[in-house]
Structures are given as C-alpha cells and as structure tokens.
Amino acid sequence: MTSLSELYTFIHSAEKLKNELRHSFTSAGRQESVADHTWRMSLMAILLSSKLDKKVNIEKLLKMIVIHDIVEIQAGDTPVPFLVGNDALKLDKELREQAAIEDVWRTLGSDIGEEIFKLWQEFEARETYEAKVANALDKLEVQVQHNEADISTWIPVEYDLIYSRRQYTAFDPVLDELRVIIEREAEEKLATAGIALRRPEGRSLEQ
C-alpha cells in the first residue's frame, strides 16, 4: 500500500499543474494553467451529467477528468494547434506521456497508481461511455476558453479548429447540441473580428 508520506510527496509534485501553462488565455488576459482547464472540465461534468443521453458513472467520470492530464507533471503540455500536420511531434508527445504515466504508476504503487494508470488508459482509448464524455468535455472546454479570450491570442490554425469537435460529441445529442452553441459563439467572435470563416463543406447551420 502506498504510504501517506508518499502520497503527500506526489501531491507536492502535482502542484506543477497549477504552473504548467496552456496555449489558451483567460478573459482577463492571463495564460491558462492545466489546473484551470481541469477544474472547469470537472464543473461541466457535474452540471451536464443529469442531461446526458445515458446514465454516466459520475464518480468515475470525475476521477478520469482530474487525472487525464496528470502526465503533464512530467511531460508538460503540448498545444493541439502545434500538433496539426506534425506527426513527429505527435509521436514524441505520445512517448513522453506514456513514460510519464508509467512513472506515476511506479511512484504511487500498485493500489492508487494502478487505478490512475487504468483510468488514464481508458480516457486515451475513448471506448467507454465515461471516456467519451470526458474527451468531449476536454475538447469543448478548450473552445469555450478560446471564445472567452481576446481574439488576438488566437493563432490562424485555430480559426478552422473551431469545427474539429464534432467527432468527439456526435455520440451524445446533448453534448453535440452544446458543441453547436460553442461553435456559433466562436463563429460570431471571428466574424466580429473581421476574420473570414471557412465552414467545412457540407456543414449546415444545424450541424
């Protein structure tokens, strides 16, 4: 069993996620941290869980959300826009994160460490209902934060990325409806800034 002192040491190391910065900015102009992102994902899960198309195991979902970026204690955050079209960076990210989650397992021992390792793997596989919901909230929260940030913090590749979430939300009508709301808000933000939209071919306003 993992000792209390070992858990406390890991709690100290997890503080890095409060300082690990993401590409997104807040509405006040401060760069967002990994911990900021995880907190609002958790809030979204609590607020939306009763509205989902199927009954979700909220305890498992929240655990998965809290640990889904735990690897970034060691591996750091790699912004999604930088991964577009960069297979070498994608592979490097995967290898760094796999090594990091294995270190978490070894550090925390066979009880808690194994649970976190399995939850992380489940999130990455995106096969169970909880994992699909967690992944959808992960992608949606990113766009919500971008919508709240000043348009000057966006980079051009992110203009098209507003339409990249449907593959993560299509399995659940409630999450897909929320995606549409978030997309429309992003479209309005870009239009207000005078940035031309390139709506994906075949996409209707209702999609």
The count of structural domains within the chain is 1
CA atoms within 13 A on the CB side of 42: 16
Average pLDDT over residues 123-147: 98
Domain carrying residue 153: 4-192
CATH code of residue 187: 1.10.3210.10
Give residue 81's pLDDT. 78
Asked, for residue 202, whether it belongs to a domain, the answer is: no
- Find the mean pLDDT for residues 49-77: 97
In a domain, 203, yes or no: no
Residue 201 lies in a domain: no
Task: Assess if residue 204 is contained within a domain.
Answer: no
Is 172 part of a structural domain of the chain?
yes
Half-sphere exposure of 204 (CA within 13 A, CB side): 2
Q: Is 205 a domain residue?
A: no
Residue 199's pLDDT band, with cuts at 50, 70 and 90, is: low
pLDDT tens digits, 149-172: 999 999 999 999 999 999 999 999
Q: Looking at the domain assignment, is residue 102 inside a domain?
A: yes
pLDDT at 201 over 60: no
Q: How many CA atoms lie within 13 A of 33 on its CB side?
A: 12
Residue at 11 is within a domain: yes
Q: Express each pLDDT in 101-111 by its tens digit.
A: 999 999 998 78
pLDDT at 25: 97
